[in-house]
């Protein structure tokens, strides 16, 4: 077998962002300025870093970014009011509430309050349901980024057996839906799965998104498999702290044909597809508004 391909998420993300920037410039020339609003509740350091990176990428793409930061003691009612104001603002095309939220705020209630057309995270039940039906909706950014890497690596995915390890609403379930849409045969493995290792070893594609460091090694993998490692885990080894995935890279390299590294694999794709979702939302809302205005004119 040839040396395994390390799937470079940084290069792929740069491609996506360059296309987004080009399309944003075209929209601006037509008088539409794509806009993303981000709400950050509290002062969690990791969340602040994520929001800062999202705002920076938006600015680089020419997308207007609005950042709303409120204290951790902010009421759920106030957060819902902020969302409703943004829902009604035609100049805002995408709304993102940075997770996790403080414990006194119901995450599901907040996510359901976002207009599905502006739900650039793809977490609203209307978008989740549409995705399960194979419709073109705003889908979660990480799984969509994973699909981009898989298509870039393998081309047509039809008929491939894909195993998704993990069943979270953010990655595992939407990942399975996107793979089904691409005509894969899909198996989801989770904490209650029996013979997980044996089943995984049958897969042409493995997407590990379980949050357990180095869980998947060569014994889990079919020779020539393509592995997408979504996990980002910090461990201490040899007196040093380092980031690792859910896949034991050193072991997996003896079996796979291609694999994403951690870091530098899936991570950059998430923000890139957040920008693409914002652009898509802006296009869809502009088209919807134009159709509505045309309808009003024809009636009058």
Q: Considering the candidates 23, 119, 121, 248, report the single residue annotated as catalytic.
A: 121
Is 255 among the residues known to form the active site? Answer: no
Exactly one of 23, 98, 117, 255 is catalytic; which is it?
Answer: 98
Q: Is 246 a catalytic residue?
A: no
The three-state (H, E, C) secondary structure of the chain, written as one string = CCCCEECCHHHHHHHHHHHHHHHHHHHHHCCCCCEEEEEEECCCHHHHHHHHHHHHHHHHHCCEEEEEEECCCCCHHHHHHHHHHHHHCCCCCEEEECCCCCCCCCHHHHHHHCCHHHECCCCCHHHHHHHHCCCCCCCCHHHHHHHHHHHHHHCCCCCCEEEEECCCCCCHHHHHHHHHHCCCEEEEECCCCCCHHHHHCCCCEEEECCCCCCCECHHHCCCCCEEEECCCEEEEECCEEEEECCECHHHHCCCCCEECCCCCCCHHHHHHHHHHHHHHHHHHHHHHHHHHHHHHHHHC
Is residue 98 annotated as a catalytic residue, yes or no? yes
Catalytic annotation, pick one of 23, 54, 248, 285: 54
Active site residues: 54, 98, 121
């Amino acid at each position: 077998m040839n040396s395994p391909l390390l799937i470079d998420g940084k290069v792929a993300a740069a491609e996506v962002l360059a296309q987004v920037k080009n399309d944003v410039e075209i929209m601006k020339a037509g008088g539409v300025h794509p806009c993303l609003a981000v709400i950050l509740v509290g002062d969690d350091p990791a969340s602040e870093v994520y929001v800062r990176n999202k705002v920076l990428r938006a600015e680089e793409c020419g997308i207007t970014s609005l950042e709303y930061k409120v204290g951790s003691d902010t009421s759920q009612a106030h957060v819902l009011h902020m969302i409703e104001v943004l829902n009604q603002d035609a100049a805002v095309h995408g709304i993102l509430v940075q997770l996790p939220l403080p414990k006194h705020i119901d995450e599901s209630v907040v996510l359901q309050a976002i207009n599905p057309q502006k739900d650039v995270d793809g977490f609203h039940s209307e978008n989740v349901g549409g995705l399960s039906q194979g419709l073109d909706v705003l889908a979660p950014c990480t799984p969509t980024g994973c699909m981009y890497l898989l298509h870039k690596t393998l081309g047509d995915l039809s008929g491939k057996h894909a195993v998704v390890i993990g069943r979270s609403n953010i990655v595992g379930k939407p990942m399975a839906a996107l793979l089904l849409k691409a005509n894969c045969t899909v198996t989801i493995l989770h904490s209650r799965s029996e013979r997980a290792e044996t089943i995984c070893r049958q897969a042409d594609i493995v997407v590990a998104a379980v949050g357990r460091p180095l869980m998947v090694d060569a014994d889990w993998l079919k020779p020539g498999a393509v592995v997408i490692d979504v996990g980002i885990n910090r461990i201490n080894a040899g007196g040093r702290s380092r980031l690792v995935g859910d896949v034991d890279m050193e072991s997996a390299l003896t079996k796979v044909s291609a694999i994403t590294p951690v870091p530098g694999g899936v991570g950059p794709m998430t923000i890139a597809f957040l920008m693409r979702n914002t652009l898509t939302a802006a296009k869809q809302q502009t088209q919807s508004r134009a159709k509505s205005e045309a309808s009003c004119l024809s009636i009058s």
